Each structure stands twice: as C-alpha cells, then as structure tokens.
Amino acid sequence: MLRQNAPELLTRLQTQLNKKNGTPTIPKDGHAAAVAIVDLMRRTFTTIPPMEIVNAYASNADADLWAQFGDRTIRVLADGVQTLRAVWMGAWNAGNGKAIPATRIKEADPKTLIRLYMRKTWAPSKTLRTVSSVLNGRSSAHSTSGAVPRKHTGKKSKARK
C-alpha cells in the first residue's frame, strides 16, 4: 500500500506536517517519553483500528487499501513524526545537547550502533506484564504488578462450572 503510493504519500505527509496541528509536548524525562510513545500508539489504534485493516484485507485481498486507509495513514504517520521529533528533542535537552561542542558531534559508526542494538541488555523488550512498572515510573523494570489484560486467543471462552 505504501510503496505503490510513495510519491503521493510523501507529498501529502509533508503537507500534513506543515500544518503543525497540535505539536506534542517535549518530554522532560524518560518516563514522559515512554508515556508519549504509548499515547501515540493509542491514538494510532483509535485512528486506524488494526482489526479494521485485517478485516478489509481478509474480505478482499485485492482491495485498494490506500483508497480506504490513505487519509488516516497520512494522519498517523504525521503524528508519529511529530511525536518522535518531540521525544528526540527531549532526549537532546535531557542530555544537555546544547552544551556539546559542534566539533564533537559526528555521525556514529553503523557497526558500533549494530553492536549496541544487538546487546540484549540495552533497551530490553517488555511484555504487558513487565512494562507497567516502566510506564508508572517505578524503579523495578521487572515488576509484574498491575492489571494485565487477558491474552486474546480469538477463541470464545467456555463458561466455567
């Protein structure tokens, strides 16, 4: 859907970004940044419910999904760009980026970045059971407390006797 419509998508995305509707607040710390990302996910799922896309494709694999989802896709992409910009600006501010001399700012070596990202201890994945402590600002990143939605298997549950 995106590849086939890339020129239109980029033009319309730029137009949407130029509108500057509701620029997100720059997060002050990591917790606020995490909340901003989760809020972005919630807004995205509200704008384009995932099951709506699945059902549209399932009902007709040859359907033009761009015609059905293009406008909303542009909106969520613009929201993502603006939110990620705010998060990166927050990280820059938190790291006192303005104090870094321009001569020290340079492109990172891709191999170094790959080694960083491949470390399992760097930015570890979280499940619904373990992310609540991070989002709530508690120090234990491995806490399993908090309400956790039941796993949806797509099967109807049988009444217990």
Classify the phi-psi angles of 2: left when phi > 0, otherwise alpha if psi is within -120 to 50, otherwise beta: alpha
Tell me the two tokens of residue 76.
């969520």
What is the reported pTM? Answer: 0.67
Q: What pLDDT, on the 0 to 100 scale, is given for residue 152? A: 43
- Nearest alpha-carbon partner for 44 in 55, 36, 34: 36
Alpha-carbon radius of gyration of the chain: 20
Mean pLDDT across the chain, nearest whole number?
83
Tell me the two tokens of residue 74.
């542009």
Share of the chain above pLDDT 70, in %: 82
Whether 33 shows a pLDDT value over 50: the answer reads yes
Amino acid at 71: D
Q: pLDDT-derived band of residue 9, with 50, 70 and 90 as boundaries? A: very high
Q: What is the mean pLDDT of residues 55-62?
A: 88
Residues in the chain: 161
DSSP of 40-89: HHHHHHHHS-HHHHHHHHHH-TTS-HHHHHHHHHHHHHHHHHHHHHHHHH
- Dist. CA 33–CA 57, nearest whole Å: 33
* Contacts (Cβ under 8 Å, ≥6 apart) of 29: 90, 94
Q: What pLDDT, on the 0 to 100 scale, is given for residue 10? A: 96
Q: Report the range out of 42-56, 118-132, 139-153 with the highest average pLDDT.
A: 42-56
